[in-house]
A = this chain, B = another copy of it.
Amino acid sequence: MHVTAGARMLEHFFTPSSVAVIGASTNPDKVGHQVLANLLEGGFQGRLYPVNPRAKEILGLRVYPEVTAIEEPVDLAVVVVPAGAVLEVVEQCGEKGIDSAIIISAGFKEAGAEGVERERQLAELARRCGVRIVGPNCLGIIATAGRKGGSPLNASFAPGMPHHGNIALMSQSGALATALIDWSLQQNIGFSKFVSFGNGVDVGVVDLLRAWEDDADTSVIVAYVEGLPDGPEFMQVAKRVARKKPVIIIKSGSTQAGARAVSSHTGSLAGSEQAYTAAFLQSGVIRAHSVEELFDFAVAFAYQGPPKGRQVAVVTNAGGPGIMATDALERAGLHLAAISPETVEGLRGGLPPASNLYNPIDVLGDADAQRYQFAAKLALEDQNVDAMLALLTPQAVTEPKETAEGLAAVAGASQKPVLAAFMGGEAMAEAKRVLAANRVPNYPYPERAAAALSAMADYQQWLQEPEDEIRTIQVDSEAVEAVFAAAREEGRVNLGETEAREVLRAYGFKFPRNKLARTPEEAARAAEEIGFPVVMKIVSPEIMHKSDIGGVRLGIQDPQQAQDVFELMMLRARRFMPDAQLQGVSVQEMVRGGREVIIGTSRDPQFGPVVMFGLGGIYVEVLKDVSFRVAPFGERHARKMIEEIRSAGLLWGARGEQPSDIDAIVESLLAVSQLVTEYPDIVELDINPLKVAEAGAGAVAVDARITITETPPGDPKAPGRPGDG
């Protein structure tokens, strides 16, 4: 099975018995020296083999001229030779039977056309030789401790060895990782594993997620990424891993300008912001929007379990910070818990009369550690309380260290999460160390604690939601494929309304009654059969925006008008688009009433089909009030797409109107999700509008258009997902 294989195959990167440093240097300023020094100083307990044709001994170790000269087996190679020599070295690794290599050397994809070609060759070579690769252009790998009894490993040129902890960190940027490690040392934050994967020619985000999925040393996975090479595979794996442990990701290059910077940096193809947002949401990935947030969240998850709900008790020794915390909690989507009468009575028994016994619980500025602990304990035990935010300011008689100890005892005795904001500098320094040592996350201000707690509550909610089951309805594939084939036969990629109808009908969509008229007389007859008023639309595969050339008319009242409109439309179409193939005019039932919605799809380069939903007209065009999901998705996400738009109230029946048929919209979204998943042929699809009647009365697609690829993708019913399975 791929999953287990993936995890097993990365073992040598984290728990090797022996490591060769190829390109080890005698010069202490060289990276090739620093890596070896880090391995030694980091306490690696296995065998170490420096490799360098021009040295005999480095840091007291015997040096080998090349890796093949090492007599014993080698589990891991760290490669620090110049870019031009990397390919040869990897080939030697293959000969030597080394299955894992960290390539620290730069000079690949990030360094122009020559580098791109070199990286392509490296990928090919590695596959051929059976060597898995982390890098190139990376900082290396650190494992603060291997499995029980294992050895620590610092196979990087990071400036220090991070503390031991239960956060596993992967970073696409080596420089950022350096800063993070340096910063984590100051903040007493510990890591289990650390991987800088650089250009990610082989091992990337997905492999590392798999490797850490069941890693007992890791309880939180944190990632800095600039792009994801295989969106669908990422989603599939992330969704599974996130059920086991929180996965927190900061995706850089989100804005338009940021995305440009990504392209020039690592050559990653940045996916659209909407696709990433949807993909993370659908996978249960917790998204951080800054590195500060990334670590604020990571520490919260690493130290405490998520809360069962969103009711928070605030304990404080000052009113002002209590107000700030209240604001911050509400803004973060959390709530002040209603303290139960029993707790209030209990608090009354032990606190001075001027204290506030309700939330935020104010133990007053003259509170000693004991009073603070008394209140914190009662508050946390209250059945209405899911989590606690503990605030402390350094006032005249405050005992920060003892208060931290008391709070740690309270937190340690409870399953509920406790987060702290002990505010101040030197006065709080010792208290902060006590909190960190006791795994109580502490933040400089209540706002950041509230944001972290909110991320935990969101994650818990996601965990409790059932999986979004992807359903598949029976469809008429032959009809769909016939339409595509016919259009391609004629050299067209744009399907006209009639063709789009056939495709959508195969997936269960309904349409207004409709007849194609080829003459004015046919138009009049069709209109009479359908019943007035009718709608008339020009039919031509070349004319995508019919209304722009007067090709759509509503509310036609009698046969004479139908004839006139036919002639006028043909005349206009010939004048404005003389080369267009005119198939006639479609005479349609005029659907009255109902709410207009839009369902559209596009294809994201990293995540594949993305489905958009919004209300018709100005809601999409002016207010940009739309929601997105990566297809395929199930009913749960279809409903969320509808709930997410700001104007959703209109569908539920705002202002005394009838509620719209939400179920019909859900069905339509699911059908589109299935269609674009099964047919990668579809580049774009727009159902605009879908007219939704009142609850129970269904929906009809009034207009639709589809653009397909010029040639059929490899296997139309099973789009290839590299590496997936």
Contact = CB atoms under 8 A, between A and B. Distances in A.
A470 interface: no
A346 B295 CA distance: 39
A157 interface: yes
A561 interface: no
Interface in A423-460: 423-428, 444-445, 447-448
B265 A319 contact: yes
A104 to B, nearest CB: 11
Interface residues on A, range: 35 or more
Most buried by B among A179, A185, A426, A655: A179
Contacts of A650: 618, 622
Contacts of A254: 327
Contact of A328 (B183, B290, B322, B655): B290
A179 B354 contact: no
Interface string A392-427: 011111000000000000000000000000011111
B255 A179 contact: no
A477 interface: no
A549 interface: no
A621 B428 CA distance: 48
Contact of A252 (B257, B320, B448): B320
B321 A173 contact: yes
Given A258-B326, A428-B182, A622 B654 contact: yes
A68 interface: no
Contacts of A224: 320
A697 interface: no
Contact of A618 (B174, B331, B655): B655
Nearest to A356: B264
A264 B171 CA distance: 47
Contacts of A647: 618, 622-623
A175 interface: yes
A266 interface: yes
Given A173-B319, A335-B257, A186 B425 contact: yes
Interface string A360-396: 1010010000000000000000000000000001111
Contacts of A290: 324, 328, 445, 447-448
A178 interface: yes
A111 B354 contact: yes
Interface string A139-170: 00000000000000000010110000000000
A174 B393 CA distance: 10
A121 interface: no
Contact of A179 (B319, B330, B424): B424
A384 to B, nearest CB: 15
Nearest to A316: B175
A31 interface: yes
Nearest to A444: B292
Contacts of A110: 319
B426 A186 contact: yes
A132 B394 CA distance: 29
A87 interface: no
A519 to B, nearest CB: 31
A159 B425 CA distance: 11
A326 B257 contact: yes
A261 B176 contact: no
A183 B335 contact: no
B397 A655 contact: no
A291 to B, nearest CB: 5
Contact of A323 (B183, B258, B324): B258
B445 A397 contact: no
Contact of A447 (B262, B292, B358): B292
A602 interface: no
B654 A618 contact: yes
B427 A182 contact: yes
A417 to B, nearest CB: 20
A412 to B, nearest CB: 25
A260 B325 CA distance: 12
A318 interface: yes
A366 to B, nearest CB: 10
Contacts of A474: none
Contacts of A4: none
Contact of A423 (B179, B185, B289, B424): B179
A258 B323 CA distance: 5
B654 A621 contact: yes
Contacts of A100: none
A394 B261 contact: no
Contact of A266 (B319, B354, B621): B319
7 contacts: A174-B318, A176-B318, A261-B360, A290-B445, A290-B448, A618-B649, A618-B650
Given A175-B317, A178-B395, A179-B393, 12 more contacts: A159-B427, A176-B324, A178-B424, A252-B324, A257-B326, A257-B330, A257-B335, A265-B319, A291-B423, A292-B448, A621-B655, A623-B623
Give the 10 A-B CB pairs with smallest separation, nearest first: A173-B320, A175-B318, A186-B425, A258-B327, A179-B423, A182-B424, A265-B319, A255-B330, A175-B393, A290-B447
Interface of A: 29, 31, 34, 110-112, 157, 159-160, 171-176, 178-179, 182-187, 224, 226, 252-258, 260-262, 264-266, 289-292, 317-324, 326-331, 335-336, 354, 356, 358, 360, 362, 365, 393-397, 423-428, 444-445, 447-448, 617-618, 621-623, 646-647, 649-650, 654-655
